[in-house]
Each structure stands twice: as structure tokens, then as C-alpha cells.
Amino acid sequence: MAFVNEHFLKLQNNYLFADIAKKVNHYQATHPGSRLIRLGIGDVTQPLAEAVRQAMHRAVEDLGQQSTFRGYGPEQGYPFLIDAIRANDFEARGITFGADEVFVSDGAKCDTGNIGDILRKENRIAVTDPVYPVYIDTNVMAGRAGKFADGKWSEVVYLPCTAENRFVPELPARRVDMLYLCYPNNPTGTTLGREELKKWVDYALENETLILYDAAYEAYIQDPDIPHSIYEIPGAEQVAIEFRSFSKTAGFTGVRCGFSVVPKSVKAFTQAGEKVSLNALWNRRFTTKFNGASYITQRGAEAVYSPQGKQQVKALIDYYMTNAGILREGLSNCGLEVYGGENAPYIWLKTPGGLSSWEFFEQLLHEVNLVGTPGLGFGPSGEGYLRLTAFGLREDTLEAVERLTRRL
């Protein structure tokens, strides 16, 4: 007889985006004439950059020739991509890593979800609240989250981020072993300055806490004073693993490519108190459970760092950030309290008139035909907020503001 991992049975069934889709589909079916504008899910809308497409075409041709054919590649990624990542994302900012400290994958969702494999179940975790749901759910699956009651998991330390604390989380009242930080933040679209991030690195150094730093949106940072990588903070190379993604940087949500950085100096303990390098464990996990991102994908990702690629990808980011500006300004002019959208592709709205996030979601759906994401879906501190993304088409973004201006 096979037994199931019963922690899976604790997962909340009402997966946020499935719930939203149900409500949206029902509305569309009952109002066939209405045109919905969907600014809910954080998926990109602009096509791949030309430099990326050309590189992928060339890679297909490589695979079609005997002399350049490739089969299984290195599980951790091809050196051509790892070297481009090290040079452009890190060395350009004064951060140096060995080639064996970067692991190319099929995206940050898998990496942030899988990292728990190499960490003991008994670790106490902390998350900023609201939060990208993957961090929570994968810890539920691993048995680290405890029981769910009143919208919270009993063993998870929640660090509220609301307008009241300017979306800057306070240090946890009780010591934690693993801490998830995501900056620029999904869903609030806010960032942490250098001093604020340093506070967390110092905390981690003092408390031997492991920071899992998700920088999937770093390419959206406009302000030169905001760190792109946690490794810009001295000491972080001892306590932090960083996750990156080409999804939002270069429109790879469908192509699939990301990477993690696991410096050899990041250690965790055995039960006997011995310090173990997480790099070796992550490498072992990678080589056992993953066979590498495809050659075509990695050639496409490499092209993001070419001179043309950089220019074209910047144009994509500028497009989305212009959308973010349109939303920020338009919604503020409607009298709404608007956060984020300056260094991130997300706009975080305070619901007007004390509406709950689901009530505001329904109001926008029914009265404006605009789909957002209710903040509560990202955690208890998301109540009273709603997320809109800047990833829509320009015409939809403009029309959303126009409709809201007419309605509010």
C-alpha cells in the first residue's frame, strides 16, 4: 500500500487564480457583449526580442547539424550562459562568483519551490505578507507550515507589509531559520532600499538565518539607489541564495529560463551542529532531479546579454513601465491610494471606502469590466488591497484608466 504525503491534503483548495478565473468566466458567459480588460495575472504580453529569436533560430540549426548537435547538456547550465550571467548581472555590479555557484533552470517558480528539498522540515520560516503564494504552498507540502486557521499557517511567521509601515517589514519577533524576501515585490510593487536590505542581511548574519531572495523583477528597478542583488550588501554572500528569472526580464514566461545563485560560503547546519555548504547539496539535487534547461532556451537567454538584446529587452521593460506610470497616474487622479509601479510592474491599490479586496474585485469586474487580483489572495495583510499588473497591452491599460475615470 502506498501512503500519500498528507501535507498536500492541507493545501487550500481555492487556488487564487483558479477562483478568479471561475468568477471571470461566469461573468463573461452571462455578459457576452462586454469586453473585459485583464490586468490580473502577471504574464507578459509583448513578443520576444528579435535578438533572442534569432539566437534561438541559430540554436535550432545547431541541433540540426552533426557537427554542432547537442544532447544532454550540463544540468547546471551551459558555460556560455553562466558566464554571461556572471559578467552582466554580477561582475558589472562588483560582485564575483565562481561558475559553479550559478545554476540555470527552467524558472524561478521551480527554484523557489524546490530549494526547500535541501532544508530540514523543522526549520521555522518567515515570509513578508502579502506574498508570492509559491513560498507558502511549497512549505505546506514539505510539512513546514503547520495548520491553517483564520487565514494563516500556524508555523509560518508573517511579516506584515502595509501602507502603515510603508511596506517595509519589521524584523521578526521570534528567531527564524529561513526567510523569504522578494524585491522588487510581488504583489505590492514596492522595493527595499540599501539600508533596509542591510538590516535583513545583518539579522541573518546574527541569527544564522538563511535568506531566500527572489529578485525575479530586478530588471524593473529604475532608481539607481535600489539594490538589484542582495549580494550588493556586504555579508550577504554568507547568508543568502538569490533567484532570478528571464520571464519578466525578457518575456520568457512561455520559453522558461531562470537561475539561482548559491555561493559556496552559504552554510546551514546538520542536527549535530556541523556546517554544510548548501551549494554542494543544491548541486546534488540539480544533477539528480533536473536535466538542464534546453540548449535553444539557453542560447535565447544568452542573447539577452548581447548589445542588441540589451537594447531590445530594455525597450520591453520601458513599455511595461510606461504602462505602470499610466496606471499610477490615472488611478491616483481617480482619488485612489496607489502604491508600487515605480520600480516594479505591479500596482497595489488600497480599496476605496473600506471595501474588502474581493468586494472591490467584484465591483471592478461588474462595473468597469476590469480584472485585477484581490490582495487577500496573497495573504492576510493583502486584505483591503488589489493588484493590477503593468504587463497588459498599452491600449488596454489606457482604456482601463479611462473606464475607471468615468466610473469613479
Select the span of 74-82, 192-200, 245-253, 308-316 touching ligand PLP (CB under 6 A). Answer: 245-253
| Minimum gap (Å) between residue 258 Cβ and ligand PLP | 4
Q: Where are the beta strands (DSSP E) in 1-155?
A: 37-38, 102-105, 125-129, 148-149, 152-153
Q: How far apart are CA 142 and CA 137, in angstroms?
A: 9
Among 128, 247, 343, 381, contact with ligand PLP (rule: CB under 6 A)? 247
Q: How far is the CB of 143 from ligand PLP (least distance, A)?
A: 22
Considering only residues 90, 103, 132, 358, which one is a binding residue for ligand PLP as defined by CB under 6 A? Answer: 132
- Cβ closer to ligand PLP: 312 or 373? 373
Spatial CB neighbours of 185, under 8 Å, sequence gap ≥ 6: 128, 161, 167, 191, 217, 340, 344, 346
CB of residue 88 vs ligand PLP: minimum separation in angstroms? 18
Comparing CB distances to ligand PLP, the nearer of 90 and 132 is: 132
Question: Of 330 and 379, which has the nearer Cβ to ligand PLP?
Answer: 379
Q: What are the grid coordinates assigned to 361, written together?
A: 474585485
Within positions 347 to 386, which residues make up the interface with ligand PLP, using CB under 6 A?
none
**Does 340 sit near ligand PLP (CB under 6 A)?**
no
Ranges of H-type helices in 304-393: 307-333, 357-363
Q: For residue 268, which of 165, 150, 117 has the smallest C-alpha distance? A: 117
Could you say which of 77, 107, 227, 345 contacts ligand PLP (CB under 6 A)?
Answer: 107
Q: For the residues of 141-179, what is the DSSP string, one character each?
A: HHT-S--EETTEETTEEEEE--GGGTT-PPPPSS--SEE
Contacts to ligand PLP from residues 47-106, by CB under 6 A = none
258 binds ligand PLP (CB under 6 A): yes
Site residues (CB under 6 A) for ligand PLP, limited to 167-226 = 182, 186, 214, 216
Task: Tell me: does residue 139 bind ligand PLP (CB under 6 A).
Answer: no
Which one, 132 or 330, has the nearer CB to ligand PLP? 132
Decide whether 297 or 306 has the Cβ nearer to ligand PLP: 297
Task: Give 132 or 361: the residue with its C-beta nearer to ligand PLP.
Answer: 132
- Tell whether residue 108 is a contact of ligand PLP (CB under 6 A): yes
114 touches ligand PLP by CB under 6 A: no
Report, in angstroms and rounded to the nearest whole number, the Rg of the chain calculated over CA atoms.
21
| Residue 343, phi-psi category: left (phi > 0), alpha (psi -120 to 50), beta (remainder) | alpha
Within 27-46, which residues bind ligand PLP (CB under 6 A)?
Answer: 42
HSE-up of residue 264 (Cα within 13 Å, Cβ side)? 7
The distance from CA 343 to its chain's CA centroid, rounded to whole angstroms, is: 14
Q: Which is nearer to ligand PLP, 127 or 216 (CB)?
A: 216
Which three cell numbers, joined as nine digits, stand for 107? 524558472
How many chain residues are in contact with ligand PLP, going by CB under 6 A? 14
Neighbours of 31 (CB within 10 A): 13
Grid coordinates belonging to 56 = 534561438
- Per DSSP, the residues of 278-304 read HHHHHHHHHHHH---S-HHHHHHHHHT
**Grid cell in block for residue 151:** 487565514
Nearer to ligand PLP, 186 or 343 (CB): 186
Residues at the interface with ligand PLP (CB under 6 A): 42, 107-109, 112, 132, 182, 186, 214, 216, 245, 247, 253, 258
